[in-house]
Amino acid sequence: MTGFISLSKENFQREVMEAEGLVFIDFHTKGCGPCGLIPPIMKKLKEKYADRLKVCEYDVKLEDLIAKSDDVVEKYKVYGFPNIIIFKNGEVKENILGIYNIDAFIDAIEKNL
């Protein structure tokens, strides 16, 4: 259990699109080495921003990626990993691909608070 909200195509609308404020989503896939660098950063962000940031994770299934059968992945063009997307009130504000530096995430969050 990571302590982050686990997203899927079934709950994405409710948890992200209908959410008020900032939502930080880590799109990752199993077997992605660099993806493992993101959860410790997410934990720090969750602590730092407490009630001002909803921290979520979205496990992209490789078979869904190949089959193009995940509507969320297709809509937001999540084809590389890790891919962080920050939403505000249901609108994409930042799309960050392959960054592992907490300062880059803090800058993106601060800019959109």
Is 56 an active-site residue? Answer: no
94 torsion bin: left (phi>0), alpha (psi -120 to 50), beta (else): beta
Q: List the catalytic residue out of 5, 9, 21, 32.
A: 32
Distance, in Å, from the CA atom of 53 to the CA atom of 113, rounded to the nearest integer, reads 9
Q: List the catalytic residue out of 35, 45, 85, 86.
A: 35
- Give the rounded distance of the alpha carbon of 113 from its chain centre: 16
Is 32 an active-site residue? Answer: yes
Cα dihedral 113, 95, 39, 23 sign:
positive
Helix, strand, coil % over all residues of the chain, rounded to 5: 40, 25, 30
Determine contact, residues 34/82, Cβ cutoff 8 Å. Answer: yes
What residues act catalytically? Answer: 32, 35
